[in-house]
Amino acid sequence: MKGGFRQSQAFLHTWSGLLLGWVLFLVFVTGTVAFWREGLNRYMRPELARVERPMAVLAGAQRFLGEKAPAAKSWSISLADARSPGAQVFWAPQPKKGEARGRRRGRRDTQALIDADGQVAHARDTRGGDFFYRFHFDLHYMPVIWARWLVGVASLMMLVAILSGIVTHKKIFRDFFTLRRHKGQRSWLDGHNATAVLALPFHLMITYTGLVTLMALLMPWAVVANYSDPAKLSDTLFPSAPAVERTGRPAPLVDLTTLVADAERRWGAPAGYLEVSEPGDAAARVTVSRSPASMLSSRTPRFAYDGVTGRPVWASAPPGGAAETAGAMIGIHAGRYADPLLRWLYFLAGVAGTLMVASGLVLWTVKRREKLPDPARPHFGFRLVERLNVTVIAGFPLGVACLFWANRLLPVEMKGRAQWEIHVLFLAWGAAAVLALVRRPTLVWPALLGATGMLLGLLPAYNLFAFPAGGLASLGVGDPLPAGVDATMLAFAAGYVAVALRVVRHRPPVRARTRRGSAPLRDVPAEMAA
């Protein structure tokens, strides 16, 4: 059974990895970038200064909301810190007669960004780093439920691929440091093994915890078994103070900064989020949540205060063991608790994971190319995988590079600018896909990789001229973010260009055709014939 067992798991590993491998590549790329979500939120709004006084921003937010939406049903304020561009505020208007709730939150006209000076931010409209974060599980241009099911199924297949990969990898310890170079398929295998095994704890963790973040959608049955009304579970897992009824008697809202100061004193940790119900009314209620950056679990404790007197009226109960575990798993996946060093390690591990997926996909074609009976006419499956590989692995990063350029170049006053930055990503990716369809992969790989490298490499230079206050100047005032992003882009640019050159110079050994009656190929690389 033993030989058969390894073999069966090798087969399972190949197919569970391949079938949705391209989806997994997109998830890994955007998830890895999303570890710098807040940093990119700042980087992609270069007009904004760094937040130095979070309480001033909060006071400004309260002033703004008091003028803009004094009689709203609720206000939401995410507190700013040095890493974020400002305080994101939402408000929900009172529901009209006959409507159960107000208009949906998140619409463009009921949100604003308050900058470091407590004023409404005058920065280019962009989704910033939040785009990568949301794409990572919501993808784009599709209903989010479909996207989350697709990403969820792909993640379960990823889990199977990792586990079957471990089982099938003979000599996992003996070959730990092995890297055979210039050996075709074996080199790709060693590269795939290295990126997989060296960061294996991360890959296992990120995959399993990723599934946990989607478990409400993917695995509701355990909830259905105990609850006829799933909302009751939400009340337990996400407790909130009892809802307030609007009295109609106006009363001034207490200064929110005092409530935040009180909550932070009680926790000994920063607050992250505020929600105000019925502001300006005598029944106003303010709920303060602890910052997820200050603890491992994503489900942070909350305090509720009377909105007029500022008296504390409610505190969330500590969660049970399973709820805390789930919160910790989601927290360890998102990495919001991580300090800069640990965040860099998350990022590097994510890069390793991305390379693992990419090398696995390429390995599939490299292995089978050597076995093709006629290299000039591979079967449909091979051609499909080969073209998908270059389209996704080389095309999507090109799209991302174009997104960063669109963020710089699209006119600041343009309507729908934020959505158009993303359209540019997909237009560039679409063009890459067309190129991949009509031209040989040997040509398209270095073209796309090289173009990506050049675009990423030129952006910091552009920034130097267009935003002299950023980059090195920011370093001078103790703000390493713009320079850090620019330097990282340069590093990736160098990497892309190096790989592009390597592909161009690659000359695999000639293999004579095995079909009779055809003239043997002379000095033509096997890739050209494909």
Cβ nearer to other proteins, comparing 227 with 467: 227
Q: How many residues bind other proteins (CB under 8 A)?
A: 66
Cα–Cα distance list, 411 to 10, 48, 123, 349, 462 (Å) = 52, 17, 12, 36, 16
| Residue 64 beta carbon to other proteins: minimum distance, rounded to whole angstroms | 36
Q: Identify which of 107, 106, 108, 111 has the alpha carbon closest to the alpha carbon of residue 89.
A: 111
Q: Report the half-sphere exposure of 109 (CA within 13 A, side-chain side).
A: 2
d(CA 423, CA 257): 40
Can you tell me which of 107, 170, 225, 520 binds other proteins, judged by CB under 8 A? 225
Q: Identify which of 75, 31, 443 has the alpha carbon closest to the alpha carbon of residue 207.
A: 31
Phi, psi of 277 (to 5 degrees): -100, 135
- Examine residue 229 and tell whether it contacts other proteins (CB under 8 A): yes
Can you tell me which of 55, 82, 233, 475 binds other proteins, judged by CB under 8 A? 233
Binding piece for other proteins, criterion CB under 8 A, among 137-145, 213-221, 379-387, 451-459: 213-221
Query: For 141-184, where are the alpha helices, taking DSSP H only?
Result: 144-168
Can you tell me which of 87, 211, 358, 362 binds other proteins, judged by CB under 8 A? 211
**Beta carbons of 241 and 287 less than 8 angstroms apart:** yes
- Examine residue 296 and tell whether it contacts other proteins (CB under 8 A): yes
150-169: contacts with other proteins (CB under 8 A): 156, 159-160, 163-164, 167
Can you tell me which of 33, 212, 422, 428 binds other proteins, judged by CB under 8 A? 212
d(CA 155, CA 47): 38
- Examine residue 349 and tell whether it contacts other proteins (CB under 8 A): yes
Window 170-199: contact mask with other proteins (x via CB under 8 A): ----x-xxxx-xxx----------x---xx
Q: What is the DSSP letter of 394?
A: I
| Residue 159 beta carbon to other proteins: minimum distance, rounded to whole angstroms | 5
| Residue 177 beta carbon to other proteins: minimum distance, rounded to whole angstroms | 5
Window 325-344: contact mask with other proteins (x via CB under 8 A): xx--x--x----x---xx--
**Beta carbons of 110 and 92 less than 8 angstroms apart:** yes
- Examine residue 498 and tell whether it contacts other proteins (CB under 8 A): no
Record the tokens describing residue 65, joined without a space: 């909301």
Cα–Cα distance list, 419 to 99, 168, 483 (Å) = 30, 44, 26
Cα 269 from chain centroid (whole Å): 26
Q: What is the DSSP letter of 293?
A: G
d(CA 27, CA 87): 28
| Residue 16 beta carbon to other proteins: minimum distance, rounded to whole angstroms | 7
| Residue 356 beta carbon to other proteins: minimum distance, rounded to whole angstroms | 12
Percent of the chain as helix, strand, coil, to the nearest 5: 60, 10, 35
Can you tell me which of 224, 412, 414, 472 binds other proteins, judged by CB under 8 A? 224
Instruction: Decide: helix, strand or coil at residue 436.
Output: helix
87-126: contacts with other proteins (CB under 8 A): none
* Sequence-distant (≥ 6) Cβ neighbours of residue 365 within 8 angstroms: 382, 385, 386, 389
Instruction: Decide: helix, strand or coil at residue 272.
Output: strand
| Residue 277 beta carbon to other proteins: minimum distance, rounded to whole angstroms | 24
Cβ nearer to other proteins, comparing 227 with 462: 227
Cβ nearer to other proteins, comparing 50 with 333: 333
- Examine residue 4 and tell whether it contacts other proteins (CB under 8 A): yes
Cβ nearer to other proteins, comparing 211 with 401: 211
Residues binding other proteins (CB under 8 A): 1, 3-5, 7-9, 11-12, 16, 156, 159-160, 163-164, 167, 174, 176-179, 181-183, 194, 198-199, 201-202, 208, 211-212, 215-216, 218-219, 221-229, 232-233, 236-237, 296, 320-323, 325-326, 329, 332, 337, 341-342, 345-346, 348-349, 352
